[in-house]
Amino acid sequence: KAGVTQTPRYLIKTRGQQVTLSCSPISGHRSVSWYQQTPGQGLQFLFEYFSETQRNKGNFPGRFSGRQFSNSRSEMNVSTLELGDSALYLCASSTGQLNTDTQYFGPGTRLTVL
């Protein structure tokens, strides 16, 4: 099975712009979660989508949003970019079965905000 894929792998944006990141989960997986990884804050949960519905959300401002399509692919959007949004954004996919689920991570999208 192919793993989790994320596009693009690298992005450079300037403050105030917006960005959209894409994630394609492992075939058959219905849950997609997003995480932000920074040297200072480590890995932090952004949100999870399951069957096109946001099922859980972390403590990030409303500038961070996402959605999931019927084929389970997910996009994450960050509006009005700030310098502090520079990070590695990781997507993880899983079957979505509660309490027995295991998340598999993609390679990430490295976002640099100038």
Binding site for other proteins (CB under 8 A): 31, 33, 35, 42-45, 48, 50, 55-56, 58, 90, 92, 94, 96, 98-108
CB of 21 to other proteins, least distance (A): 15
CB of 29 to other proteins, least distance (A): 11
CB of 16 to other proteins, least distance (A): 30
Of 76 and 81, nearer to other proteins (C-beta) is 76
Q: Say how many C-beta atoms besides its own lie within 10 A of residue 88's C-beta.
A: 15
Q: CA-to-CA distance for 76 and 67, rounded, in angstroms?
A: 7
For residue 114, the 8-state DSSP code is -
Residue environment code for 90-112, b if the CB has 16+ CB neighbours within 10 A, otherwise e: bbbbbbbeeeeeebebbebbebe
Of 43 and 114, nearer to other proteins (C-beta) is 43
Query: Is the Cβ–Cβ distance between 14 and 82 less than 8 Å?
Result: no
Of 37 and 79, nearer to other proteins (C-beta) is 37
